[in-house]
Structure 1
Amino acid sequence: MTKGRRRTTRDADHESFDTAYDAIMARWPDGTESLTVPTPYGPTRVHACGPRGAPPLVLLPGGGATSAGWYALAAELSKTHRVFAVDLVGDAGHSAPDPQRPVRSVGDLTAWLDALLDGLSIGLPSGPPVDLCGHSYGAWIALHYALHAPTRVRRTVLLDPTGCFAGFRASYLLRALPMLLRPSARRVRRFLEWETAGGAPLDPALLRLQERAAVLPAVRPVTGPRPDPAALRGLRCPVLLLLAGDGRAHDPHRVAARASAVLPEVTATVLPGVSHHVLPYAMHADVHGRTAAFLGPLSRPSR
């Protein structure tokens, strides 16, 4: 600490968050690289692992989460892919939003992701398209991006997506409201413990990370309408939809039915024994096995 400088609460909050973040990143595969990619919306933190030259896979976390939480799925999928896990600009993590150019719309999000893929030199006309995998809010971004840039995306995995095919349950929104209005570590813990009760247990280290993230400044996430059903009917990108059978965010069977009605190439499965917030890191054989099988070679040529 610089001589004469008082250590502020803000400093302590950031240090505590960084310590919790680094503890999760220690679980990532050996050789994982941490990259900072410049974009017009601010520098974006990306963690990369897996063989160089392997098919690219981009992982987008849910709101309030970070790229660190993908450790379990990244370890599995990096056997066959070059995995790029992203901290969303303006949300928890180490991406830094540009105050002069905030992300305020779906168009901004897709432009940011365009720039990020360009900066990573993936999904370019000269190379293979990318696979996308998103959870919750990250799945909403992934689906919008697949519609925006169909030639850059080969396949998309949606883990319990929110805002795509059905609304939230009223009980979920009511429970989340105190945490959204006045975030605090205690409110985050209470909400996540309620949502995951009865399913796979919360990872204590990831719970600590989300508690630490709650007290840090964050940009209000982009919200908007669900993707246009007419546009979804024209989407030729194969989609794997994995839904949390014990989740409380929405009715998973209703989401599966609605997605199947509008997506021409979707495989929808409701997984028992897992909740919405645990799904990205759950040591669930179906999550890992179904995702790895779906992201394997297709029986028809990719675009």
Structure 2
Amino acid sequence: MHYTSDDLHDYKERVDEATDAIRDEIDQPPAIGIILGTGAGALAEEIDPETTLSYEDLPGFPPSTMEMHEGELIFGTLEGVPVVAMNGRLHLYEGYTAHEVVFPVRVLGTLGIDTLLLSNAAGGMDPHHDAGDLLLVTDHINKQGTNPLIGPNVDDWGPRFLDMSEPYDPALREIAEQTALDHGIALRKGVYLSVKGPMLETEAEYRYMRDLGGDVVGMSTVPEVIAARHMDVRCMALSVITDECLPDDLDPIDVEAAMAAAAEARPKLSRIMKDVVQEIGTTTS
């Protein structure tokens, strides 16, 4: 798709309209945003909610079409710290453009968040990782064939040529690692490789992606991180490894087993997210 200046002008107007609608419904915009990925919805239950807004009720907001993705913004407190959680994200494989996928992130950035914590479900390509493990994303590889900065730049949001030498904030990663150490959580580290989906990969594709340097593979996160960094929002991402994608020993995915692996990782994910939020709240108060 070719994006014109008019297209991006209209897009920014939609973002501003949605942001204004949210401001009318909340008392004070939070500084921390959280994106709850597949299997991480339980963290939403630990937020003390003040205002919940459905995507469908916000002007210009694309609806989430996926099961297990509620499609709502939850404003409240986590560990006593104000947050907004995206309970349901958008994906390219749903038919959305990269700009539409990051529409909620653009809104949260315009609203004033300065930190974005992301979670996702991913397939593990490192033979030393197991289903049910939690991985701290240290870097990423974009194999989606698109990104949310294509087209004319919106200068109010960020620079034309975005530096991506450090997309995942070192200080946030350090907090996550210390939290894992304090609670005896085995926290893997590695590179998240993002594809468009929705089909899973062939043996040859897994081998190729592993050779490229990917440790886990998924269908989200990277567009959101690019958009957030474009708006100078610092990011941290955690991947729940739901299945093992080893090309020399590849089995068809077992959805029930993948969901069980996500459930196994859920308490670890929640613990780290809560401690990171609490630490941010302590250092900024």
TM-score between the two structures when normalised by the length of structure 1: 0.32
TM-score between the two structures when normalised by the length of structure 2: 0.33
Q: Which structure dedicates a bigger proportion of its chain to strand?
A: 2
Higher relative contact order at CA 8 Å, sep ≥6: structure 1 or structure 2?
2
